[in-house]
Amino acid sequence: MAQKLLSFFMTFFLLLSSADAPQETPPPSIPDGIPPLHVAGTVLADPQGNTVRLKGVSTHGLAWFPDYVNADAFRTIKEGWGANAVRLALYTQEYGGYCSGGDREKLKELVDKGVQYATELGMYVILDWHILSDGDPRAHQDEAVAFFNEMSRKYADHTNVLYELCNEPQNSPWQTVIKPYAETVLAAIRANDPDAVVIVGTNTWSQDVEDVIGRRLADENVVYAFHFYAATHKESYRQKVKNALAAGIPVFVSECGLCDASGSGGVDENSAREWFALLKENHVSFLAWSLCNKNETSALIKPDCAKLSGWAAEDLSQSGKLFRDAILDG
């Protein structure tokens, strides 16, 4: 009887104390032993000072190809390709985008799932605010601040989450538009998460990394985005990357393709090889556009392959095979 009474009171007190617990649901998973990263010179490093290169794939637009956000897909990329990172592309203004009538709750659910799967697999994950036709990052600045405030609060403990503030600004001078935008969004993130790595896009579809020389953000853990599509962007663009690196700018290739900048056209294998050599030599991270089977040459999966994970070599497009090899290569 005494024991029954005791257990009754214990249950009662437990209930009472859990009623006091914060009501917000915790993030789905806490990374276990994924080293936090910081910027060291032009590269990323772990707390012991070892250089860490992120290599992996970007999703296509989350609204358009949601089914590729699944644990087996990420596992295939990790185990079969040697990838350690995934980028979640959240379009802002394109059809169905976060700021153009898309279902925000559903899109955020996909982001949460993506973070959860990456976390369970020990991978890094980039939350990409994918501006494109909007061009000027300030077009949806309020939404960006609200989104990153919410995400950085939720994922402050996640050592594997990186924030990408603006995919590809256009007609937006670094000093007067992008930098002040980044300062505003960064302030929202830093209030919650003081040291996560943040990726900031540069003008002209994230290619003007030289603009940042001498004009970096006053934040040590920011890297600056450079994007290339190998069949369109060749030696003069590689030179831009070399110039930025030589000036000490941490360059991060958060998106790249091996075809032309439209996302289609032929793959340029020679230019691709030159790019991969340059990135490897300088320990520059890169994410491949994109993990889907859309009928365009940038898609990593062949259009007639419906598998959502477990791709064999013959399921990969030419871009897919070349990227898999480049990711596997050291």
**Is residue 70 a contact partner of residue 78, using CB atoms and an 8 Å limit?**
no
Write the CA distances from 253 to 149, 191, 250, integer angstroms: 24, 26, 10
Identify which of 56, 59, 155, 167 has the alpha carbon closest to the alpha carbon of residue 110.
Answer: 59
The catalytic residue among 94, 168, 210, 296 is: 168
Minimum separation from the CB atom of position 259 to ligand IDC (A):
8
Helix (H, G, I), strand (E, B) or coil at 74: helix
Strand order of the β-sheet with 38-40 is: 38-40, 43-45, 51-52
Task: Report CA torsion sign: 280, 283, 285, 291.
Answer: positive
Q: Which two tokens stand for residue 158?
A: 């996640």
Stretch near ligand IDC under the rule CB under 6 A, chosen from 15-23, 207-215, 256-264, 305-313: 256-264
Minimum separation from the CB atom of position 260 to ligand IDC (A):
8
How many of the other CB atoms lie within 10 Å of CB of 330? 8
Using the rule CB under 6 A, which residue among 11, 50, 239, 262 binds ligand IDC?
Answer: 262
Using the rule CB under 6 A, which residue among 87, 138, 179, 227 binds ligand IDC?
Answer: 227
How many of the other CB atoms lie within 10 Å of CB of 138? 18
Stretch near ligand IDC under the rule CB under 6 A, chosen from 2-10, 25-33, 254-262, 310-318: 254-262
* Cβ-based nearer residue to ligand IDC, 155 or 229: 229
Spatial separation of the C-alpha atoms in residues 114 and 57, rounded to whole Å: 12
Spatial separation of the C-alpha atoms in residues 268 and 258, rounded to whole Å: 6
* Cβ-based nearer residue to ligand IDC, 54 or 132: 132
Q: Is 132 in the site for ligand IDC (CB under 6 A)?
A: yes
Q: Does residue 210 have an active-site annotation? A: no
Helix (H, G, I), strand (E, B) or coil at 216: coil
Q: Which two tokens stand for residue 45?
A: 């490093």
Q: Is 286 in the site for ligand IDC (CB under 6 A)?
A: no
* Cβ-based nearer residue to ligand IDC, 275 or 289: 289
In degrees and rounded to multiples of 5, residue 291 shows phi and psi of: -85, 85
In the complex, which residue's CB is closest to ligand IDC? Answer: 263
Q: Is 119 in the site for ligand IDC (CB under 6 A)?
A: no
Q: Is 255 in the site for ligand IDC (CB under 6 A)?
A: yes
Q: Does residue 168 have an active-site annotation? A: yes
The catalytic residue among 94, 164, 210, 255 is: 255
Cβ-Cβ contacts under 8 Å for 218 (sequence gap 6 or more): none
Minimum separation from the CB atom of position 254 to ligand IDC (A):
9
Spatial separation of the C-alpha atoms in residues 70 and 86, rounded to whole Å: 12
Minimum separation from the CB atom of position 22 to ligand IDC (A):
37
Minimum separation from the CB atom of position 264 to ligand IDC (A):
8
What does the per-residue mask of binding to ligand IDC show for 64-103, with x meaning CB under 6 A?
------------------------------x---------
What does the per-residue mask of binding to ligand IDC show for 145-184, with x meaning CB under 6 A?
----------------------xx----------------
- Let me know if 196 is exposed, middle or buried by CB neighbors in 10 A (0-12, 13-18, 19+): buried
Binding site for ligand IDC (CB under 6 A): 94, 132, 167-168, 205, 227, 229, 255, 261-263, 289, 294, 296, 298
